[in-house]
Amino acid sequence: MKVFKFGGASVKDAAAVKNIATILHNNAPKQLVIVVSAMGKTTNALEKVLQAWFSNDEALQQHINEVITYHHQIISELFPDKNNPVYFKTDLLFGELEGHLCTPPSPNFDFEYDQVVSFGELISTTIVGEYLIMQGFNCQWFDVRGLIRTDDTWRDANINWSVTSQQVNNLLVPFLENDGKEPHIALTQGFIGASEAGHTTTLGREGSDYTAAILSHVLNAAEMTVWKDVPGVLNADPKYFENTTLINHISYREAIELTYYGASVIHPKTIKPLQNKSIPLRVRSFISPSAPGTTINATTSEDDAIPGIILKSNQVLLSFSPKDFSFIAEDNLSQIFSALAECGIRVNMMQVSAITFSICMDENERKMDKLTALLGEKFAYRYNNGLQLITIRHYDQVTINRILNGRQLLVEQRSRQTAQFVVKAQV
């Protein structure tokens, strides 16, 4: 039994959906679970819908229409037969979405976010499912809200593993039990779940990888594959760096480190559920499906083979010094850290000297104002924004020189495996 995850780019238009069928023809095992994201940039588009709804913006209907038209285009290219059930199934979903949006929102933005944005995955899986059925696959659509149970932390829901496991065993497993003749494909949505009260929840942006890992864990999958528009895990993001190299193999541990420092190739929560059951994760290209891609498993032997470069943009460097000229010692540090925790600030890098404590954090004016209000009485502070944080794992001097070349350096920090540099963003 394997789990495949197809992200937004792999279902962004009719040709992409057709390509999934080709990949399945060549790669589907006898028992397969497919997790699919919203099509293309639909989640962003639905976020715009939500903003317009909350701000009573008259562009609301136009934003809704954009989402519907985009999907209609894909549907009409994939299904020439207008009697195909996909037409009434998706119309039902569009109607439900519009119905939800025609009354004023409840005051809880995060709750409404989950109710609205989740339509992206419900629509995409309906289209992909009907297409696979039309292509002759034994494919069944599952509503993931009947499988994945979460708490009600809207937009960042936590998994209830025991209920999830029970539901998956009751619903998915009997379907996957296979007489051996042809692949049985269970198709479901990434990114979403349901609370005990039955409300839709979401697992955080880019959370479909995590959904696939949860199902892999519960089902004891032999392997999980994420199909992407890149050849696998690269040693740097080609959007920002030239001369990237494909990493054939890394360990779970290294993958966790890379995602921790900001590598966006897989969702950070994906690795743990797989590691705990020793399920290999493969990252493969849907453009070149026969290429091996990257394998992530427990073996650490190749982790330091290639320096890995991770760039985090929109960073701010914030420095505090005690106004009474006391040293930065435990009492000051504990005050600073509790203020950071209270503001929900994640520290991406920190540095302590005798009289200053500096942190690098994601730009967020609201959180920064709160932090400086909490600490301003006791500490003087300075900040610098428009920065980037570059992390190099398994660094060597040649790589550091190549990456820093011409960049203005503000802070640098090195440990045995990891070098970090706060630099001015290049314009």
Q: Does 129 interact with ligand ASP (rule: CB under 6 A)?
A: no
Q: What's the first-to-final CA gap in the chain, in angstroms?
A: 48
Q: Which is nearer to ligand ASP, 208 or 251 (CB)?
A: 208
Q: Quick check: 207 binds Mg ion (CB under 5 A)? A: no
Ranges of beta strands (E only) in 174-258 are: 184-189, 192-194, 200-202, 223-228, 249-251
Q: Does 193 bind ligand ASP (CB under 6 A)?
A: no
Work out whether 7 is an interface residue with Mg ion (CB under 5 A): yes
| Residue 40 in contact with ligand ASP, rule: CB under 6 A | no
Position 50, amino acid: L
Q: Which does 205 bind (CB under 5 to 8 A by kind): Mg ion, ligand ASP, none?
A: ligand ASP
- Given ligand ASP, Mg ion, none, residue 190, with its beta carbon under 5 to 8 Å by kind, binds ligand ASP
38 touches, from Mg ion, ligand ASP, none (C-beta below 5 to 8 Å by class): ligand ASP
- Would you state the structure tokens that stand for residue 141, as one six-digit string? 């659509």
**Residue 155 within binding range of ligand ASP, rule CB under 6 A:** no
| Minimum gap (Å) between residue 233 Cβ and ligand ASP | 17
d(C-alpha 414, C-alpha 392), whole Å: 9
8 A C-beta contact, residue 2 and residue 32: yes
Q: Which of 1, 3, 8, 368 binds ligand ASP (CB under 6 A)?
A: 8
What is the Cα–Cα distance from 7 to 207, expressed in whole angstroms? 10
CB 36 within 8 A of CB 142: no
Tell whether residue 193 is a contact of Mg ion (CB under 5 A): no
Which region, judged by CB under 6 A, interacts with ligand ASP, from 150-158, 203-211, 279-287, 380-388?
Answer: 203-211
Among 10, 19, 31, 37, binds ligand ASP (CB under 6 A): 37
Residue 270 or 321: the one with the smaller Cβ distance to Mg ion is 270
Closer to ligand ASP at the Cβ: 9 or 422?
A: 9
Instruction: Let me know: does 79 contact 157? Beta carbons within 8 Å.
Output: no
Strands 138-142 and 184-189: parallel
Query: Pairing mode, if any, of strands 223-228 and 281-285?
Result: parallel
Indicate the burial class of 212 (C-beta count within 10 angstroms; 0-12, 13-18, 19 or more). buried
Q: In the structure encoding, which two tokens stand for residue 216, read together? A: 């892999």
Question: Measured from the CB of residue 193, what is the shortest distance to ligand ASP in angstroms?
Answer: 12
> Which residues form the interface with ligand ASP (CB under 6 A)?
7-8, 37-38, 43, 120, 190-191, 205-208
